[in-house]
Every structure is written in structure tokens, then in C-alpha cells.
Structure 1
Amino acid sequence: MKTEFIVSDMTCNHCVQTITRAVQGVAPDAAVQADLAAHRVTIESVADAVALRAAIAEEGYEVQPA
């Protein structure tokens, strides 16, 4: 299942790495793609979208559904 979020304060590759680690902490099989220019994170995973969003938010990012 594909889940997309807008992470408005994702600004660099370090942010992408942090978000990827957070998502994979909840869903180790997740494939994470980030578009820095659009501030969009796309996640392919069977994990619940609420859990994925919470994992990103716990790292201090502003997360909204895309």
C-alpha cells in the first residue's frame, strides 16, 4: 500500500535519512522515497498510515497527509 505525506520542514538529506529510519523502525520492510523540493514522502508498506505518520512526527517533523 502506498502512503504519502507532506513534511514541510524536511529540507535536506539528513532529514530524509532520519525520516527513513523512523519509518523503518515501525515497518522494516517499508520502501521510502522523498522529494525534497515538494516536501513529499512516499512510503510503500503494509503498515498503518497512522503509525507511519506518528513515527515521523516523533522525530520532530510537521507531517500532513498528501
Structure 2
Amino acid sequence: MCSCQQHSNSTSETVATPSASGLNFRVDDMTCGHCAGTIKKAIETTLPGTTVDADPASKLVNVTGFGDYAAIKAIVTDAGYTPSAAPVAA
């Protein structure tokens, strides 16, 4: 977790939305580029072959190359953030 802002410790249990373009979910406590970079690095280093697009403006994360949300959620949580479900843009 970065020190730019106090991050939420919400424990809401949700499921990510799989889509043709990858696994999409929200991370409401991703507040800046540093947060996005931390999430991206955590997933891509732990799961080689994945590609992560993390956008702090929309709070959306898209992961391609790996579809196990439970594993991804654990990685993001270990990095200090709180992943939750997000609708997939059509």
C-alpha cells in the first residue's frame, strides 16, 4: 500500500467479471499511479505471462492471461489493496 492516502480495509466478498478481454474488477482504494503500478507489478511478477492494465482514474483493473480470480484477489490483497467486482463495459 502506498503512503499517498489511507486505504480502505473493506472486507466485502465479491466475484470479478470475466470478459473476452480479460478478468475485470474494481479496486476502490487504488488512488494514484503508484497504487496502479504496485498492483500491476504484484500480479505480473507472481503470475508470469499475465498482462495487467490498472487505471486509478476509473479504479478498474483488467488482467489477461490468467482467469483465477481467487488467486488474483489474494495477490492484490497481499499488496495492500481491496479488490471487488466491477461491471464489464460492453
Sort the TM-score into its range (normalised by shorter chain). Answer: 0.7 to 0.9
Structure with greater proportional strand content: 1
CA distance in 2, matches of 1:46, 1:59: 18
Q: Which has the higher contact order (CA 8 A, sep 6+)?
A: 1
- Give the match for residue 56 of structure 1: 76
Structure with greater proportional helix content: 1
CA distance in 2, matches of 1:47, 1:24: 13
Runs of 4+ more than 6 Å apart: none
CA distance in 1, matches of 2:81, 2:66: 22
TM-score in terms of structure 1 length: 0.86
Larger Rg: 2
Taking only aligned residues, the RMSD between alpha carbons, in angstroms, comes to 1.4
Identify which of 5, 8, 21 aligns with 2:41. 21
Q: Which runs of 5+ in 2 are unaligned?
A: 1-19
Tell which deviates more after alignment, 4-13 or 19-28: 19-28
Q: Are the aligned partners of 2:26 and 2:59 in contact in 1 as well (CA < 8 Å)?
A: yes
Q: Identity of paired residues, percent?
A: 35
Q: Which runs of 5+ in 1 are unaligned?
A: none
- Shift of residue 46 of structure 1? 2.5
